[in-house]
């Protein structure tokens, strides 16, 4: 398991102070703060900065809740294509609803949801209807006329002025979304435009965790960001505007650097002021780099994340979700840090065990699937597929038995219960597949009524959270979701478990 390399407490303290300074140091009525990355459950940051609190940013906002309200943006095209958030396996439209629930649980005020680059399609309109009928105010923003080169049109009633003004009341307006390309910047600038049209003053700032501007360009943590955004073609670069203005090296990424000259002209056109940001880094309020307490630990964790992203890209390519250029990009980034897929410690044990079984009995184990998991003490446990259960279920059972100190050959699930579940699955649901992970855990839960060993094993399930695993075949959606619920970070080989098209 990763050692701590990042201080969550120091991060929240520094970040809160810096944002307050940005608000109090300005002469504006309102600050529009664009939040990039994940505002809640930031799994990527947690993986590459061991010690990072995945909900640090929302806790930070909670400390500012009396002065802040939230606008959530979602790009209409992401609704139409059912774009998915990889960490949770849910579509962006569902992620917006999950975000609203999360914000409410922290007592944060949701102002509204904005559908950016609106398209009049059934799926987009249905999404809007769902929100409005649950009392969530929604706005439709069109593609900005003249963007990105015609600043005169952009900053006019034909450009930003064509969008409805979002009625806000707090001095801080957080603009966020389920992922990159949600339209957060356009929404923020549209609001700044409307504020000035109404005789108010407003500022724009950006809170983007990655890339971290204060660490080296080729630091693995920054390269891991490139791997995570390979489909967006993000490339980290030295902020040459910052270097020229201050003589100080800072890291930013290509989209911000390319957009900065136009963004600066847009802000100047809106505000009528020459004073403003001199670089994309100036716009940011990120202090993550100053909370790294063990650089080597963060480097190691980031390398593991780069490998993980490559393995995920292999499977996404196999499923037809990405093109070859994205896969090649992640492979090059993995090679750039001197790593291979086998530097993820669970990959080789899974593949070796599968090969061993095939050599022992080629006919019986020709299509065997194996999963391997690293336990908190660094030991590896495996599990193979069988007629009775899938490989991930066998792996989890073996893992909790080991953690509970139960003998490997001990029976912790009643064969009668397993048989009854299998018969029900086949007889009623006409599903001849092996029991999946969730079904096996349910069988274990039923067995605990009569077998104390099952109770001991079940108590160990929470201790699997944070463990890494690997499977020699692509998982079913149900098993993938079950492993995520347990907090197990699993990757797979880019091989389907069968030839059925519908099941995958």
Phi, psi of 464, deg, nearest 5: -85, -10
Closest residue by Cα to residue 11 from 72, 64, 55, 47: 55
Q: Alpha-carbon distance 238 to 218, whole Å?
A: 10
Contact 436, 482 (CB under 8 A): yes
Taking residues 310-316, what's their average pLDDT? 97
| Structure tokens given for 143 | 């593609």
pLDDT-wise least confident of 156-165, 271-280, 453-462: 271-280
The string of pLDDT tens digits covering residues 251-264 is 999 989 998 999 99
Q: Across the chain, what does the average pLDDT equal?
A: 92
Q: Tell me what pLDDT residue 20 has.
A: 80
Identify the residue whose tokens are 């030295």: 238
Note whether 166 and 191 are within 8 A (CB).
yes
**Residues forming beta bridges with residue 139, ordered by sequence position:** 114
Could you report the per-residue pLDDT of 41-97, keeping only the tens digit for each? Answer: 889 999 999 999 998 888 888 888 899 999 999 999 999 999 887 666 789 999 999
The tokens for 145 are 């006329």
**Do the beta carbons of residue 192 and residue 267 sit within 8 Å?**
yes
- Read off the pTM: 0.88
Give the Cα separation of 373 and 458 in Å (integer): 17
Q: Give the β-pairing of 84-85 and 380-384.
A: unpaired
Query: Does residue 311 have a pLDDT over 70?
Result: yes
Band of residue 504 on the pLDDT scale cut at 50, 70, 90 = very low
Q: What's 162's DSSP letter? A: G
* Of the listed ranges 179-193, 272-286, 342-356, the one predicted with least confidence: 272-286
Q: Mind listing the domains of the chain with CATH numbers?
A: 8-217+239-291 (3.10.630.10), 346-492 (3.40.140.40)
Q: Does the pLDDT at position 2 exceed 70?
A: no
Q: Among 82-91, 221-230, 448-457, 465-474, whose mean pLDDT is lowest? A: 82-91
Q: Cα–Cα distance between 193 and 188 in angstroms, integer?
A: 9
- The closest alpha carbon to 226, from 305, 156, 153, 344, belongs to 305
The Cα–Cα gap between 233 and 467 comes to 30
What DSSP line would sit under 320-340, residue for residue? TSS-HHHHHHHHHHHHHTT--
Span 218-254, pLDDT tens digits: 999 999 999 999 988 889 999 999 999 999 999 999 9
Q: How far apart are CA 167 and CA 217, in angstroms?
A: 40
């Amino acid at each position: 398991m990763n050692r701590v390399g990042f201080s969550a407490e120091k991060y929240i303290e520094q970040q809160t102070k810096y944002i307050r300074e940005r608000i109090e140091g300005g002469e504006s009525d309102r600050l529009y703060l664009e939040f990039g990355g994940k505002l809640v459950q930031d799994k990527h940051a947690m993986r590459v900065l061991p010690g990072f609190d995945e909900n640090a940013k929302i806790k930070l906002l909670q400390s500012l809740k009396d002065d802040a309200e939230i606008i959530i943006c979602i790009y209409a095209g992401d609704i139409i294509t059912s774009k998915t958030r990889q960490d949770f396996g849910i579509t962006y439209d569902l992620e917006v609803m999950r975000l609203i629930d999360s914000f409410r649980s922290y007592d944060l005020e949701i102002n509204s949801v904005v559908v950016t680059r609106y398209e009049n399609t059934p799926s987009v309109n249905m999404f809007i209807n769902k929100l409005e009928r649950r009392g969530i105010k929604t706005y439709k923003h069109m593609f900005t006329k003249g963007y990105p080169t015609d600043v005169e049109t952009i900053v006019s009633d034909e450009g930003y002025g064509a969008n409805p003004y979002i009625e806000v009341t707090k001095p801080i307006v957080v603009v966020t979304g389920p992922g990159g390309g949600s339209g957060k910047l356009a929404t923020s600038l549209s609001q700044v435009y409307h504020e000035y049209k109404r005789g108010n003053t407003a500022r724009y700032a950006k809170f983007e965790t990655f890339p971290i501007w204060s660490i080296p360009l080729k630091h693995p943590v920054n390269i891991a960001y490139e791997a995570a955004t390979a489909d967006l073609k993000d490339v980290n670069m030295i902020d040459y505007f910052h270097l020229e203005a201050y003589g100080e090296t800072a890291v930013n990424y290509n989209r911000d650097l390319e957009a900065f000259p136009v963004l600066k002209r847009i802000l100047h056109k809106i505000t009528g002021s020459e004073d403003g940001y001199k670089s994309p880094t100036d716009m940011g309020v990120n202090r993550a780099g100053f909370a790294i307490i063990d650089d080597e630990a963060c480097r190691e964790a980031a390398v593991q994340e780069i490998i993980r992203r490559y393995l995920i890209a292999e499977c996404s390519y196999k499923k037809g979700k990405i093109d070859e250029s994205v896969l090649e990009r992640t492979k090059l980034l993995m090679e750039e840090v001197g790593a291979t897929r086998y530097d993820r410690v669970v990959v080789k044990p899974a593949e070796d065990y599968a090969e061993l079984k095939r050599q022992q009995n080629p006919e019986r184990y020709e299509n065997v699937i194996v999963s391997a998991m690293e336990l908190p003490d660094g030991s590896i446990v495996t599990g193979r597929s069988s007629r009775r259960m899938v490989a991930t279920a066998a792996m989890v059972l073996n893992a909790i038995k080991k953690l509970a100190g139960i003998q490997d050959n001990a029976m912790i699930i009643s064969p009668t219960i397993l048989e009854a579940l299998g018969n029900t699955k086949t007889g009623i649901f006409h599903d001849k597949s092996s029991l999946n992970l969730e079904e096996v855990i349910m069988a274990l839960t039923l067995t605990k009524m009569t077998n104390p060993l099952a109770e001991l094993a079940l108590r160990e399930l929470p201790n699997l959270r944070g463990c890494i695993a690997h499977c020699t075949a692509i998982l079913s959606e149900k098993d993938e979701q079950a492993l995520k619920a347990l907090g197990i970070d699993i990757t797979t080989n880019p091989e389907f478990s069968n030839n059925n098209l519908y099941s995958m």
